[in-house]
Homo-oligomer: A and B are copies of this chain.
Amino acid sequence: MAKYSKIPEATIRRLSSYLKCLEDLETKNEKVASSALLANMCNVNAAQVRKDFAYFGEFGVRGMGYNVKELKFNIKEILGINREWKIGVVGIGNMGSALLVYKDFLKQNYKIVAAFDIDPAKVIGHISEKMGRPVEILHVDILKEVVKARGVEIGIITTPPSEAQKVANLLVDANVKGILNFSPSPVTVPKHVKLRNLFFTSALDNLVYYLSN
């Protein structure tokens, strides 16, 4: 990580996608993967794959390829996801409740340790019996104190768009380090907080553009 000063943002995105492919390979009991194979799975150039890794070290064996488990471990270390991250979800509607029991979060060491809503009693209805027993849903009024007490580092916003900015402000005030906004309304936060907007329609827009052109 000393060799290169600047890592392309796109490289980081791809690392995450290589990781998903490696997990896929792991379930299929594949032990090694070449840059060509990963490139193929992720629709990128093989040189790109090797270059992406080269920013961070040497993880492969010449003539052989990459050891799936090892590479997976190394990517997790690079991304900083080799430890548990504590998450709080705000807005327990349909999407919020779905996230509360989303299995891939658990698998990836993303642990939802708190859930908030403006009306905890009412939203219980969103939680179907099939969902098991997710974390208790608390009132947003006590968000700040709970976030601090439980060490929540990342907030996820799943409120209606009209509430998104208010909730973002609450989370910032409660000192979360990052925010993932699932609501379809863009929010802004101070520079010291990292923000990602995840707009479902944007994924569709992108798809549609390439379908239309």
The interface of chain A, by Cβ under 8 A from chain B, is 12-13, 15-17, 19-21, 24, 41-42, 78-81, 85, 87, 93-95, 97-99, 101-105, 107-108, 110, 125-131, 153-154, 160-161, 177-178, 180, 184-186, 188, 194, 196-213
Give Cα A13–Cα B196 distance, bound, in whole angstroms.
14
For A16, A24, A180, A202, the residue with the greatest tally of chain B CB atoms inside 10 Å of its CB is A202
Please give the distance in Å from A88's CB to the nearest CB on chain B.
Answer: 13
Docked Cα-Cα span, A84 to B11, in Å, equals 34
Closest 4 CB pairs of A and B: A80-B212, A94-B98, A104-B184, A16-B202
Task: Looking at the assembled complex, report how far the CB atom of A33 sits from the nearest CB atom of chain B, in whole angstroms.
Answer: 13
Partner of A205, one of B81, B125, B184, B202: B81
Across the interface, which residues of B come within 8 angstroms of A199, CB to CB? 16-17, 20
Residues of B within 8 A of A41 (CB): 186, 188
The reply to whether B80 and A202 form a contact with Cβ atoms under 8 Å apart is: no
A95 to B80, CA, bound (A): 27
Q: Which of chain B's residues have a CB closer than 8 A to the CB of A153?
A: 211
Q: Which of B105, B204, B211 contacts A110 (CB 8 A)?
A: B204
Cα A197 to Cα B42 with chains together (Å) = 10
A212 touches B79 (CB 8 A): yes
A85 and chain B: residue at smallest CB distance: B208
| B-side contacts of A180, CB under 8 Å | 203-204, 207
Provide the residues of chain B in CB contact with A185, threshold 8 Å: 20, 24
A198 touches B206 (CB 8 A): no
